[in-house]
Structure 1
Amino acid sequence: MLPRRLAAVLLSMALALLVAAAPEPPETPAVKKREAITTSNVAKLKTKWVFTATDDVQVTPAVRDGITYFSDYGGYVYAVKASTGALIWKGYVPDYTGSPNAIARTNPVVSGDLLILGDNHKIWKPHQGAHLFALNRWTGRLVWNTQVDAHEAAVITADPVVRGSRIYAGVSSIEEGYASSAGYKCCTFRGSVVSVDLRTGRLIWQTHTLPSRLVTACTATDCGYSGNAVWSKPVVDPATGTLYTATGNNYTVPESVEACVRKALEDKVSFDHCSDPENLQETVLALDLDTGRVKWSHRVSGYDAWIVACPEDPVSWCPDPGGEDFDFGSGPDLFRIHDKRGSRKVVGVGQKSGVYWAFDAKNGSLVWKTLVGPGSLYGGIMHGTTVDDKRIYMPIGNVDRKPYVLQPSGRTATAGSWSALDKNTGKILWQTADPGPRVPFDIGKPTVTGGVVFVGSQDPDKNNMYALDARTGKILWGFPSGGSVGRGPAVVDGTVYWGSGYTLAKILFGGASNNKLYAFSVNGR
């Protein structure tokens, strides 16, 4: 058994990278119409080709003009022939950004001749900030590289979004992991959303989730506010000129806030008033596309300050009380519902609490919310949900193995699962338990096409790539990829492109690493 200090350090590193290295929805749309793969033939999927990379393939590829683009945990970006898997070019992220040990964990985004990515880091030590960079997608040569945040713990976790001549992205960090070291000067990172010029990489605007006046490093007796990372992909509504995003937890807060929360808990009253109203932790935001101005905000929890090491291996700045670490770790969905008020747009978003929320897109008022499954530090709803014309699809991670009843079967589950909700009401339509017995941690945006829902499993003992019936949740196909799978695939022109391997799942839960990108088609043709 590992000594407690070593175990805490490993856990700190792993969880920080879990948050920092979590790709969000792919450039290739997750819901595609009129695809060749349907419920009637998905069981006939066979391997068409396999590409061997240098490390885990934890992203959903982008496919354009017969080329498949993806990155791996070894720090490489690849372009391969979509038909055969033959290598066209590969590039090394540290060469692009100038930051040693940099890797690209965002799903690649294609726009014209450009391939857009963001960087983060696999080595747990201060680095050269967070970068967005653009490559010539035909050659792999660097076009531009922009440092969007100079903080030594800053990273780009969520996929960039391209709209017109601009790129939009959230800025996250791994500082809550760095803060596990007593020698680190905790904590000064503040999350943000940035807009940059597509052609030049010039920073146009940056909106922070904390004002600078609230952020100060900890002293022997007190801390300022920090955290509120944006580690989920934003969604854009061009019709209203609005960007929607959601934020994470605080790392630290002032002692006065902690005292207020402790008193509220003692008195059994709400502590929502304890935090500064400009502290946008665990908040859904609507921003103006042109300026970054906040149009509205809806904070769902009044207090959630959390650092990886606390309370098992505490440092002097551990929050007291410690929060639940219920970030918004899944990008918002924008969709239209029909209810007693008529037709309207809503913003839906999953949280690590296990709750999926739906807000009115105009003003941020709550429309409905559904507890889909248990929440946890490493679970609930993470890394993406998908909406089609009827349903919302999502994974549930349940690393604490809390028992919960699946709907409508009534079966009790104690591990991960996949769910579908009615998008108008939030009612759970079906839930399917992950058949894998060992790793109770399901994450990643499902891919929906032809009535089929493709989902990944972290469990290495059985199949870890699955196809479900979108209407019923019945498992139609499974494949043992050899590694944990935490992302949905790209499905283009009758071919499924799917990466395998997740070292963090191996470190935390007994999952498996791998270095493969698979292409599947009906009968392997």
Structure 2
Amino acid sequence: MKLRNPITAGVLGLGAGGAALAIAALATPMLAPAAVGQVSPDHPGAGVYQKACAVCHDNPGATRAAAISAIKLMPAARLNEVLAPTGIMGPMAASLTPKEKTDLVAWLTAGQATAPAQWTDALLCSADKRGVSASASIVSLGFGVDASQTRSLSAAQAGISKAQLGNLSVAWAIAFPGQGSGTGASVLSDGTLFVTGGQRLIAVDAATGCVKWAYAANSRNTPALGEINGRKVLALSVARDIHVVDAANGALIWKASGQPVDGTGGSIRGGVIFAKDKIIVPLSASGVAAGMNPRFECCTGHGSVVALNAADGSHAWEYHTMPEATYNGQVNSLGVKQQGPSGAPIWSVPVFDAKRNLVIVTSGENTSHPGTDTSDAVIALNAGTGRVAWKFQAMAADIWNMSCSVETGQNGPNCPVLFGGDGRDYDFGAGAVLTSANGKDIVLAGQKSGHAWALDADSGKVLWSQRVGEGTALGGVHWGIATYGGKLILPINDPALGGTNPKAKPGVFTFDVATGKPGWSYAATANCEGARATAVSGCTSRYGFSAAPVVVDGAIVGATLGGEVIILDGADGRMINRIDTVGPIPTLNKDVAGKGGSIDAHSISAGAGMIFINSGYGQFGQTAGNVLIAYKPK
């Protein structure tokens, strides 16, 4: 196969004590924000914001956009990335001149304190503590924890027991410059964990929180830990590329495009996985945000999967959820032509079924007409060729983009519901899980509609389904599920978008894997006592379980948008522990202020005798923050 843009790099000695900072050649430069100070009210960027951004970002509760307070915590590099033509806000920013974009980013970052360009220098381990054991085994290989993506660890694997989880204390915390991105950690048995944040991939000594090495990487992925030719490596996306680095020292092994050969490609939100000799890359292009621009010819972009050869990053195969969009004959109320099909993005982390040599992905909704049979679906692909082995569509005609407001009926000109269909944004944001019961292999999946699905791993045929509540555009099931001991663990978010949601059922629910029979459940409640009433954004309406849980020794470690870690006994749902992470957090790197907030996405991890929580997630009008907190038994 042809190798596309392979780049290798060494390790440069930088910072205090000759700190090893691995920097990929041609990597996006680190952009420090302006020094903190008074921002002029007539700053030109303020006018750009009011013209192009305020209508959504000043009203995050209704639009699901990030709040302006959260955006002002983002580093300049991230802002430039989302405003670029290929970024999620690219179509919305298309009318801005280069100067207007520069002014906007300058205004948004003007109030930020200047973080050290090499902020990890203050956290470096002593020279004799920077080693990563070559013989260490993998405890958690990334988001899924294990190859079946069960997100479950035994007491021996995690180094911590259910009994110990009831009495935890903070071991250490690290503050990331900018805003937290909800990433999780991969873990080795020697006590090294790998996590992204603050435009770095870092290797951390779990016992002390010191940093063994740092690699420049502006990524929102939980790094995938695997092996290539007997060497442990980490794979993650940086913008539209895939980087593979040596787990021992952070040296770049190779870098290659993660984009398909055909079509326009897209962002890589969920994270990559290893599948034998391949690295599987899910892409989440869809035009879902671009549809908010009534002058945009909505919509273009679709989900796809790219397989790279793990040895060198060369392209192996690609799969597309649909063909490229063309004009579909529809015209919006402003006379703008519409395009389609589009959507069916793959936001989630794939799972590899080694027994059947299948890569299983889950997809999102269509964003314009015509609808396809690949949206809101679970799709199994041959890992050698990318051809579809089977697919299951949970909801047809779910055609939706962010110009729609199903709750209020105030739909923008590009809302596809105006042209037909039943757009609810009930996609699969959570990846599938492989398990078995009574000798049958089963694929489990959780949907934002609140559905739990059990599918035959051989055919994709539905074995059973259950539903909790009626779901919302942010879940239902949002980022992930877990399984252990014959139980499916189903976290339900159900925020009250737009005010109230009388049918909401936020909490944690369990089902028997073999039969679908409901087990115990835990109903979430809002905690708005004292300072939390104002510290937690939307405290009375956003307290559900959106983040993917982790099972440790039969205990369910979950967390809420209200910033609380909730640990439940997997046997009966009894609460074992409840920990509040919201507010200022003392950190090892005192030159970066630490703050906890909403816990979302992939934020919960375990291993090395600890629980790791990435607290702070300012998307969707939630509570921003920027800390990785390690909890240990007292």
**TM-score between the two structures when normalised by the length of structure 1:** 0.80
Give the letter for the 2:518 counterpart: I
Residues 132 and 147 in structure 1, CA contact (< 8 A), matched pair in contact too: yes
Alpha-carbon spacing, 1:284–1:156, altered in 2? closer, same or farther (3 Å): same
TM superposition shift of 1:334: 1.2
TM superposition shift of 1:34: 3.2
Alpha-carbon spacing, 1:27–1:333, altered in 2? closer, same or farther (3 Å): closer
Residues 223 and 236 in structure 2, CA contact (< 8 A), matched pair in contact too: yes
Q: Deviations over 1:267-318 (max 9, x none)?
A: xxxxxxxx55xx4111211111100111111212220111102243613464
Q: Deviations over 1:441-487 (max 9, x none)?
A: 42122111112110011114xxx112110111111112111211124
Q: Within 2, Cα distance between the matches of 1:422 and 1:20?
A: 39
Q: Within 1, Cα distance between the matches of 2:244 and 2:526?
A: 39
Residues 384 and 444 in structure 1, CA contact (< 8 A), matched pair in contact too: yes
Residues 337 and 346 in structure 1, CA contact (< 8 A), matched pair in contact too: yes
Q: Which of 170, 185, 189 does residue 61 from structure 1 map onto? A: 185
What's the RMSD between the two structures over aligned residues?
2.8
Q: Within 1, Cα distance between the matches of 2:614 and 2:574?
A: 23
Give the letter for the 1:52 counterpart: A
Alpha-carbon spacing, 1:3–1:471, altered in 2? closer, same or farther (3 Å): farther
Where does residue 398 of structure 1 map in the other structure? 494
Residues 335 and 345 in structure 1, CA contact (< 8 A), matched pair in contact too: yes
**Quick check: 1:241 aligned with 2:331?**
no
Where does residue 179 of structure 1 map in the other structure? 291
Identity %: 23
Q: Give secondary structure in 1 for the equivalent of 2:170.
A: strand
TM superposition shift of 1:435: 3.2
Alpha-carbon spacing, 1:426–1:4, altered in 2? closer, same or farther (3 Å): farther
TM superposition shift of 1:324: 0.6
Where does residue 248 of structure 2 map in the other structure? 138
Greater Cα offset, 110-119 or 420-429: 110-119
**Aligned pairs (5 A) from 1:97-112:** 103-112=218-227
Residues 27 and 62 in structure 1, CA contact (< 8 A), matched pair in contact too: no
**Quick check: 1:416 aligned with 2:510?**
no
Q: Which of 178, 197, 203 does residue 309 from structure 2 map onto? A: 197
TM superposition shift of 1:152: 6.6
Q: Which of 461, 469, 489 does residue 569 from structure 2 map onto? A: 469
Q: Deviations over 1:406-433 (max 9, x none)?
A: xxxxxxxx45211111111112211112
**Aligned pairs (5 A) from 1:480-495:** 480-482=580-582, 483-486=597-600, 487-495=602-610
Q: Deviations over 1:203-252 (max 9, x none)?
A: 2111111034x645876344321111011122111111112222111111
Where does residue 54 of structure 2 map in the other structure? 6
Alpha-carbon spacing, 1:402–1:305, altered in 2? closer, same or farther (3 Å): same
TM superposition shift of 1:14: 3.7
Residues 58 and 502 in structure 1, CA contact (< 8 A), matched pair in contact too: yes
Where does residue 534 of structure 2 map in the other structure? none
Where does residue 348 of structure 1 map in the other structure? 444
Q: Within 1, Cα distance between the matches of 2:566 and 2:203?
A: 25
Where does residue 412 of structure 2 map in the other structure? 314
Q: Within 2, Cα distance between the matches of 1:302 and 1:415?
A: 24
Q: Give secondary structure in 1 for the equivalent of 2:255.
A: strand
Q: Within 2, Cα distance between the matches of 1:235 and 1:425?
A: 23
TM superposition shift of 1:353: 0.6
Alpha-carbon spacing, 1:163–1:222, altered in 2? closer, same or farther (3 Å): closer
Where does residue 116 of structure 1 map in the other structure? 235
Q: Within 1, Cα distance between the matches of 2:505 and 2:209?
A: 35
TM superposition shift of 1:153: 7.5
Where does residue 513 of structure 1 map in the other structure? 624
Q: Give secondary structure in 1 for the equivalent of 2:619.
A: helix
TM superposition shift of 1:31: 1.2
Give the letter for the 1:196 counterpart: L
Q: Give secondary structure in 1 for the equivalent of 2:475.
A: coil
Residues 403 and 415 in structure 2, CA contact (< 8 A), matched pair in contact too: no
Q: Give secondary structure in 1 for the equivalent of 2:631.
A: strand
Rg (Cα) greater in structure:
2
**Aligned pairs (5 A) from 1:338-377:** 338=438, 343-377=439-473
Give the letter for the 2:525 counterpart: P
Q: Within 2, Cα distance between the matches of 1:136 and 1:200?
A: 13
Residues 12 and 180 in structure 1, CA contact (< 8 A), matched pair in contact too: no
Q: Within 2, Cα distance between the matches of 1:474 and 1:7?
A: 44
Q: Within 2, Cα distance between the matches of 1:467 and 1:203?
A: 42
Give the letter for the 2:283 counterpart: V
Residues 20 and 172 in structure 1, CA contact (< 8 A), matched pair in contact too: no
Where does residue 253 of structure 1 map in the other structure? 369
Q: Give secondary structure in 1 for the equivalent of 2:340.
A: coil
Where does residue 138 of structure 2 map in the other structure? none
Q: Deviations over 1:157-200 (max 9, x none)?
A: 22211122211131103621122123434322121122111121
Residues 188 and 226 in structure 1, CA contact (< 8 A), matched pair in contact too: yes
Structure 2 residue ranges without an equivalent (≥5): 1-49, 68-81, 90-140, 528-538, 583-596
Residues 181 and 220 in structure 2, CA contact (< 8 A), matched pair in contact too: no
Residues 280 and 299 in structure 1, CA contact (< 8 A), matched pair in contact too: yes
Q: Within 2, Cα distance between the matches of 1:473 and 1:118?
A: 37
**Aligned pairs (5 A) from 1:17-96:** 26=143, 28-29=145-146, 30-35=151-156, 36-54=159-177, 55-64=179-188, 65-72=190-197, 74-93=198-217
Q: Give secondary structure in 1 for the equivalent of 2:342.
A: coil
Q: Give secondary structure in 1 for the equivalent of 2:458.
A: coil
Residues 265 and 304 in structure 2, CA contact (< 8 A), matched pair in contact too: no
**TM-score between the two structures when normalised by the length of structure 2:** 0.67
Residues 206 and 608 in structure 2, CA contact (< 8 A), matched pair in contact too: no
Alpha-carbon spacing, 1:432–1:513, altered in 2? closer, same or farther (3 Å): same
